[in-house]
Each structure stands twice: as C-alpha cells, then as structure tokens.
Amino acid sequence: MSHTIGSFLFDYLYKQGVRTAFGIPGDFALPTFRWLEASEIDLITMTHEPSVGFAADGYARVHGLGVACVTYCVGGLNLLNAVACAYAEKSPLLVISGGPSGNDRKADSLIHHKVRSFDSQRRIFEEVTCASAVLLDPETAADEIIRVIAAVREHSRPGYIEIPYDIVDMPIKEPTLRNIPAPESDHENLEAAIAEAIAAIASAKQPVIVADVELARHGLTDIAVSIAEKFNIPIASTLLSKSIISENNPLYLGVYAGGLSEPVAQEYVEGSDCLILLGAFMSDMFLGLYTAKLDRRKTIFATTEKLRIGLHSYENVLLKDFLTSLATSSIAPKALENPYKLQPLVPMTDEERAQPLDAEGFFRILGLTIAEDASVICDTGDSLLGAIGLRTSQRNNFLSDAYYLSMGFSVPATIGAIAAKPDSRAYCIVGDGAFQMTGMELSTAAKYGMHPIVCILNNDGYGTQRHIIDGPFNNIHRWEYTKIRDVLNYGKAVRVDTKGALEAVLLEAAKTDEMYIIEAIIPKGDCSRSLRRMGEKLGELRNKDKRND
C-alpha cells in the first residue's frame, strides 16, 4: 500500500498502540486532521490547547503513548506548558503541529500565526522535547517520524513533529530498514554494581525500597515488586508514583515525601540502613521541600540515567539490567515486619455525619465510598497532598502532576484517563482555583458522553498560597459551580457542606452512569496536615517575614 506522509504517520502511531488522539484544529493543521480522521485512531476535539496537552499526557501515563494535534504557533505555543509538564515528569507525549509551506518559508512571508521566524515554534519546543523534526522532505519524512517516536518511547519524554500543510498529502518514501542494536550495559560495571548492591542489602537490618515514577514509565514495576517480595523488603511510593503498586500489597509502606509523608513512612525510610531508590526523581517535592533526612552513603540510587551505590558511581549500566540481575541474585529473605498496617476503614457515626466538612474529612469519606477499580486524578494543592493516605488497590490508577505542579492539570487529564481506561470510573479532585483554569473542559466530557465524578474543593481561593504568603492576590471570583450543569445541560451537580451530605452524594454518584459535579465546601484556611507542612516550609523560603536571613 502506498502512503502519504499523513497516512503513514497515523498508521504508524496506530501500530505503536495509540487508539485516541487529542486536538484542536486550525487552518495550518486541517490537512493533517483530515488524515487523522481517516485513520483508525479516534480523535477527541477539545476546547483549549493547554487541555489538549494535559489530556494527551493523562492518556500517555495510562496507555503508554499520547498524541496532541494542534495548529501552528497559536495552537502549539498555547500547548507549551502542558508539554513542559510532560517533559518534567517523563510522560511519552507526541506533539503534531501543522505548519507553513515550504514556499512560505523560502519567501519569508509575514503570514498569520508567525512569531519571529518560521523556526520559532520548533526552537521553543526543543526545550521541552527529547526529539523534534520538521517534515520538509517526503524522501526523509518516514525515517524522521520513526526516529522521533522511537526517542519518545526510549526516553519517555515528549517529541515534536511539525508538518507543513502542503507536505502532508504528498507520497512518502518507505522508511529505510536499519538494524540498530539494542543498548547494552557495560558488563564489568554491572557485575561490580550488583556485587556491591547485594552486599549492602544482605548486611542491612532495615532495607527499604522507594519505587518512583520511572519504573512505571519504562514498564519496570513488576521487576521492582518481585525484588521486594523475593527479599521481603517493604516498598514505598512517592507522590508522583502513588499507586505504582497496589496499596493493599502487604509490603506497601505508604507514600514517602520527606516531612510531607505519613509519619510511619518517613520514620522507616529515613531510619533505613539500606535505602533502595528505584527510578526516583530527586526533586524538592520528593525530598518534602528538603525536610528529608537521607544518607547517601547508605543509598542505592538507580535510574535510567545514573547508578550510584553509596559514594560509588557506575557508568553505562541500564536500569532494566540492574533490576533484572538484582531480582535473580541470591539474598536471604529479610525477617522484617512492615510497620505500615492497613487499618480497616471505620464507617462514620451519625454524629460525624452532621459535622461540617473539612479537608481531612473529605479524603476520609472519599476512601470510604470509592470503588476499588476507580481511577483518581488529582490537581495540585490539597487535592493532591490531602490524598497521600487515600488507599488505591489497583495499580497505576492515581494520576497527578506531583513534581511540575501545574494548576489545571486534573480536569483535562481526567478526559485523557477515561479515553485510555474507559471501564474505570474516574474521580477528578480539583481545587476551586485550578478548576477556574480548565474546568470548563467538562464541555468535552459532555460532548463525548463521559461520566467522571468531579469533586471541586471550594476553599474560597488559592488555598496553597494562603499558607505561604497570604493576601488579596489569593482571592478568586466566587462561582456557583453547580450551575455549570445548566450551562452544559449534562450530568448532575450537588453542593455539600457536611460530611454526611458528601457521603450520600458520593455513594449515589458511584451507582450511576452520569457525570457528577460535587462542590465540596471547605472552610477557608482549612487544609490537610501535609499541605500545612508544605506551606510552612515554602513560607520559610518565600516569605521574608518568616525567613531566617
């Protein structure tokens, strides 16, 4: 079968497993959208480009590869923040942008959407992608498409392909067949690293594994869990990797995030004499805004980019090879007891049901009512930090931008997660400030017949910032959030301000196939313990009145 550039691109993406793409059309991209529509890939057309990026990111985190299609500059540059989030958190997202023709570029015309030069958008995207290409030549287009998508998969980071509108319909030259050998570890370094790791684990009295997000991005979670189970080592997740393993696993230790952690997880991890960090992002959020007390001399740190054991670094050792070798090594199982005990969920009393709702109560009630196979997508702020102790029994069903922390992530990411996993009921947890950024993307959920349960934590403004530096700049206009149901003419909407009312509506929503918008009234200034701790630490850094200069 002969291909055009457009048909080849989307046929190749379909073969790579993509079943849904997200986009907003524009004149430079319309010829590309026509080929997308003719392909086997479904298209979800959204209302705003940042939402396109977050939705494709959410899809990628669940499904393995996401696609965002936009027009030149006004679409692409509007998408940029969401792609930056995907880059920062290693999500495999492909940006496909329409572009001006070759003749436009030669004439250097002042055409609409152009910024400074015809290459401005590509150069900007080079900062937030691992590979990019502008398809100007049908002779090389197939090879370039394959190269960029291969890099996205290898590095689990965004890629960028720009297609001039007059090129996309041209016949494409079949790709060059290449025999590219798979990367290999330096066997001597691998052998030495494994020997040192085995010695450290074997002699340790309290080893612990912290499994972070790179394991999920590169399909290595099962190996990490097998190591924990084979050697009876407790395993913690992070905010970014929450639900990387089932939180009903008897070895699960909870979420570790320095001083933002649940106390049992913090004490056990920081008291370990052999801390095994697998696929970890050593960000300020991982370290609980530098409240963590970790000794690198007692740490095994293994990622796709580096391997360090104690103070020794080992070059050219692949993470998969290290984990596989460790999983097959001979270490006697540890006689350890996991201190994190899964406590039975205690139903509320009638007295509690009559109490006003608060942040801690919201997440307790959510835990009491949520289905085991549900997906949870959290925005930044207490929507995320309050969920640290929320138990999720299914793997990879908790999504958040817990490192980049861009407000507005959750509503469009929920649409992406539903497209990737339509049989799982999706719960979107979002603050009122973040909802005002992207919440009207629920129009897309209505358009495509989706039925998320959207919980808007209304604490009257930017609650996170209030705990850092408060002022009138943290105020937002008060919306009547339940009226959004009338605007969309879709789903149901309820406002609750007591614990009992929240419990009742969550139980009702879980039984239906309708979209529910639940406005949960949280007292202004109230927050979870973790958010209060985060606000205190950031206040010490950002607020001159609290800073110890």
Task: Say if 187-327 and 350-541 have the same CATH topology.
Answer: yes
For 538-543, the CB contacts below 8 A with 24+ separation are 538/289, 538/467, 538/468, 539/467, 539/468, 539/469, 541/289, 542/468, 542/469, 543/468, 543/469
Integer Cα distance of 238 and 257 in angstroms: 6
Tokens of 495: 């406002």
Q: What is the residue-wise DSSP string for 338-388?
A: -S---PPPPPPPHHHHTSBP-HHHHHHHHHHH--TT-EEEE-STHHHHTTT
Q: Do residues 26 and 71 make contact, with C-beta atoms less than 8 angstroms apart?
A: yes
Can you tell me the distance from the alpha carbon of 77 to that of 127, in angstroms, rounded to the nearest whole number? 12
CB 451 within 8 A of CB 515: yes
Reduced to 3 states (helix: H, G, I; strand: E, B; else coil), residue 479 is: coil
Q: How far apart are CA 487 and CA 507, in angstroms?
A: 25
DSSP state of 149: H
> Given CA atoms 78, 80, 83, 85 in this order, what sign does their dihedral have?
negative
pLDDT at 1: 58
The two three-digit tokens of residue 340, written as one number? 């994190």
Task: Please list the pLDDT of the chain residue by residue as tens digits (549 residues).
Answer: 589 999 999 999 999 999 999 999 999 999 999 999 999 999 999 999 999 999 999 999 999 999 999 999 999 999 999 999 999 999 999 999 999 987 777 777 778 878 888 899 999 999 999 999 999 999 999 999 999 999 999 999 999 999 999 999 999 998 887 777 888 999 999 999 999 999 999 999 999 999 999 999 999 999 999 999 999 999 999 989 998 888 889 999 999 999 888 889 999 999 999 999 999 988 888 888 888 899 999 999 999 999 999 999 999 999 999 999 999 998 999 988 888 877 778 899 999 999 999 999 999 999 999 988 899 999 999 999 999 888 877 777 899 999 999 999 999 999 999 999 999 999 999 999 999 999 999 999 999 999 999 999 999 998 888 888 888 998 999 999 999 999 999 999 999 999 999 999 999 999 999 999 999 999 998 888 888 888 778 877 787 777 665
Q: What angle do CA 449, 454, 460 make, to 5 degrees?
A: 140
Half-sphere exposure in the Cβ direction for 252 (13 Å, CA): 24
Task: Write the DSSP assignment of 68-97 as a string of letters.
Answer: EEE-TTTTTGGGHHHHHHHHHTT--EEEEE
The position carrying tokens 């009145």 is: 545
- If one looks up domain 5-164 in CATH, what number appears? 3.40.50.970
**8 Å CB contact between 26 and 74:** yes
- Assigned superfamily of 350-541: Thiamin diphosphate (ThDP)-binding fold, Pyr/PP domains (3.40.50.970)
> CA–CA separation, 256 vs 52, rounded Å?
31
In whole angstroms, give the CA distance from residue 194 to residue 5. Answer: 46
> 260, 240 in Cβ contact below 8 A?
no
Q: What angle do CA 21, 394, 440 make, to 5 degrees?
A: 40
SS3 2: coil
Q: Where are the domains of the chain?
A: 5-164, 187-327, 350-541
Rounded CA-CA distance 114/138 in Å is: 24
* b/e map 349-375, b = 16+ CB within 10 Å: eeebbeeebbbbbbbbbbeebbeeebb
**Residues sharing a CB contact under 8 Å with residue 290, sequence separation 6 or more, in sequence order:** 258, 284, 537
Burial of 513 (0-12, 13-18, 19+ CB in 10 A): exposed
Residue with tokens 């050593």: 282
510 phi and psi, to 5 degrees? -65, -25
**Taken in order 28, 31, 34, 40, is the CA torsion positive or negative?**
negative
Domain 187-327 has CATH 3.40.50.1220: yes
